[in-house]
Amino acid sequence: MSHKRVAILISGGGSNMVALLDSMIGDHPARPCLVLSSEPEAAGLDKAAARGVPVAAVDHRPFRADRAAFEAELMKPLIAARPDIVCCAGFMRILTGDFVSRWQGRMLNIHPSLLPKYKGLNTHARALAAGDGEHGCSVHEVTAELDDGPILGQARVPVLNGDTPETLAARVLVQEHRLYPAVLRRFAMGDRTPIHWG
């Protein structure tokens, strides 16, 4: 059986990327074909290279507000890697509808909230400010609208007394590292049945 080829988009430390890379072994139906960063200095690039995964980076800064020009450059290594699936993992650039439409239906993202709650940034602080009793993370298909698209998995964690955004984020991140690999494995087998934990 030939493996599904998975490209992973990152911007930073790539802890979710590492979890995905380390899951694609043995009888897993997918293997990584590229780790691509919007930040040339992203620590995740070294972690990927250390695991023998091809890496590339396109610095978004020279393109300033010209999102289309940045994405045209980003597309080059991505197309060259011939991915079947593209996983965004801590990728911090908003992608235009044109870019997403090229990969729609095979592009995933992990977001640190129980979508549709708290799209966008600072999700942990917002959940605390709202007094939520629980929080969590979601893996969803990427569509043109930010942090929208069909949910493929969610994991819930309790909000504890005395939680700060940092302690809550750390609790959620543990679940992200479990959920994303589980969803990718299922997605790579053609199964889009959502996973719900906690």
CB of 177 to ligand GRF, least distance (A): 8
Catalytic one of 3, 28, 60, 111: 111
Using CA atoms, how far apart are residues 53 and 29, in angstroms rounded to an integer?
17
For residue 70, CA distances in Å to 37, 74, 161 come to 12, 6, 43
Binding-site member from 29, 90, 149, 153 for ligand GRF (CB under 6 A): 90
Rg (CA), the chain: 16
Which tokens hold the place of 75?
Answer: 């597309």
Count of positions on this chain that bind ligand GRF (CB under 6 A): 13
Nearest to 111 by CA among 147, 155, 156: 147
Using CA atoms, how far apart are residues 191 and 198, in angstroms rounded to an integer?
21
User: Pattern of binders to ligand GRF over 123-162, x per CB under 6 A?
Assistant: --------------x-------------------------
Residue 16 interacts with ligand GRF (CB under 6 A): yes or no: yes
Residue 176 interacts with ligand GRF (CB under 6 A): yes or no: yes
Residue 112 interacts with ligand GRF (CB under 6 A): yes or no: yes
Using CA atoms, how far apart are residues 71 and 69, in angstroms rounded to an integer?
5
Using CA atoms, how far apart are residues 118 and 123, in angstroms rounded to an integer?
6
Smaller CB separation from ligand GRF, 15 or 143? 15
Instruction: Show the CA angle centred on residue 49, arms to residues 10 and 79, nearest 5°.
Output: 55
| Annotation marks residue 196 as catalytic | no
CB of 12 to ligand GRF, least distance (A): 4
The window from 15-23, 32-40, 68-76, 128-136 that contacts ligand GRF (CB under 6 A) reads 15-23
Binding-site member from 89, 127, 183, 188 for ligand GRF (CB under 6 A): 89
User: Active-site residues: which are they?
Assistant: 111
